[in-house]
Amino acid sequence: MKKPYLLIAGEQYYPSSGTDDWKGCYETIEEIMDLLSRDPEGWGSKPVTINGTDYDWYYIIDLRVWAD
């Protein structure tokens, strides 16, 4: 699998139905971490920013676990 890591992120506590929370697939976890910026002090209303958009949560999923 060329890009086994799926980044999902959401703006609400619970995930959206469908694939709206899917942000993309990447070759490495480091590639994903380079996209993220966090408020180190925790003062922002949204804890993580991905490509300029604020989110409440994010997960990185290794799709190889599901594809085997």
Distance of CA 35 to the CA centre of its chain: 9
Q: What is the pLDDT of residues 2-47, one digit of tens each?
A: 999 999 998 877 777 778 899 999 999 999 999 988 765 655 566 7
Q: What is the pTM of this model?
A: 0.80
Quote the pLDDT of residue 20: 85
Domain count, the chain: 1
Q: Which two tokens stand for residue 4?
A: 């086994």
Quote the pLDDT of residue 16: 74
Sign of CA dihedral 37, 5, 28, 59: positive
Domain span including residue 21: 5-67
Distance of CA 21 to the CA centre of its chain: 8
Q: Do residues 57 and 8 touch, judged by C-beta distance below 8 A?
A: no
